[in-house]
A and B are shown apart, each in its own frame.
Chain A
Amino acid sequence: MKILFINNDGGGFADHIEVSEGTTVQALFAQRIAHGKPEDYLIRVNRQPVARDQKLQDGDRLTITPTKIEGAFAA
């Protein structure tokens, strides 16, 4: 089955990818963002936050974006 996968790591990605039936959000995260900590990302399927064990469905849109993008002045 195919899903749309969007993330900014590596070369950046916003394209359709082939995934196996029954693949969970957590499994795909580990596969695609092996160096990342899940707590550093907002993981959404079809624009909604999801549990990590949710199984992906054909046509889903998985978006993984960074959290806590913050800046501060240098005192």
Chain B
Amino acid sequence: MSNVFHMPSLGADMEAGTLIEWTKQPGEPLKKGDTIAVIETQKGAIEVEVFHDAVMGRPLIDIGEKVPVGAPMAELEPLEPDTPSARPAETRAPGKAATVAGRQGEQQTSEARPQPSTASEAAAPAPQSQAPEPTAAAERHRASPAARRLAEQRGVELTAIEGTGPGGAVTLADVKAASGQPQPAPQQKPKPNSKRTQGKPDLAAMRQAIAAAMSRSKREIPHYYLAHDIDLTSAADWLTRRNAERPPDKRLLLGVLFIKAVALTLRDFQELNGFDRDGRFEAAEAIHVGTATAIRGGGLVAPAIHDADQLHLDALMARLRDLVARVRRGGLKASELSDPTVTVSSLGERGVDRLYGVIYPPQVAIIGFGSPRTRPWVVDGDVQPRSVVTATLAADHRHSDGHRGALFLARLAARLQEPDAL
């Protein structure tokens, strides 16, 4: 029996993707983690990976075709029966043969394609879709009648919209947010992007995606905000000394110290590292730090650095370099975009003093770093010029309280006093 590879969700703000190319041909064997296709999304050209070993089967959509999240893209054939790895993979993911990556599977389904099995979902009496195409995603899709009408008028696929109503139902506001002004150009053109434009995100579409995700965040998440000034002098001095001995390709940026310090501190603050699932908190099993990276020309993405708490600073720096380079050139992977468990946003040297983050749903916290500055600071009773950064925490008050949030920032500050231990 063949399985089906679906258009993955790369986060709460993704509605649909356009197939740019198949990187595997029918009959080719696939290993878990192999890139199977490149899709164009609001975040640029993204490589999508298979979840388990299989054999590439029949493609179900054409190059250039734009399909909603969850739509079937290709058939996957099981490996030969005598291949030991074929069986376990199938039993582990029944009915959901392929997804972007192991870590991301659960997040994908419960976030972008609400499962009707959860309690609150079942309680929401949203009407069933009457979409002409009875795909799995369409059958499950819920929307208010007004939303359904508007979606029809504007030619927007309901299945392509992230619902924010009860149980994930699509509301009128969602359709408006998703369709923007009537007949938005980016939604309408199913053109295959040429190699030349690959990796360059459609900025109008990205703007819409950010708008949808951030509106949902501000509508649903009761943020609380904390800020803490942290003396960075010892960390900055340590970094200067360290970098002075190294060639440019071995140098570190302060931002890497921030990411590592956050990741280590999060080990003791589970309630800040995970996801909101219909109002319940689900702690993440690992610490994948989404690193907000501005895109030249506008917009941003926050690809994950996986297991950031376990990476040596040099390895972390290499990962960050690689991520930034791929944000610029294209080539981000689906798993990187879909599975951050928390976000860190650093303004760098040329920003302002403080950054108040907006949580990226379904995450529950975002840590911001303003630009480090030389400020007057009292040390042992004397005022001294010190390098100081303001760290902020925006967190979901449904799942944590200011007391713990404050402890988190205080511990973070303490960690940054001992850069050798990072």
Same assembly? no
| Chain B residues packing against A (C-beta within 8 Å) | none
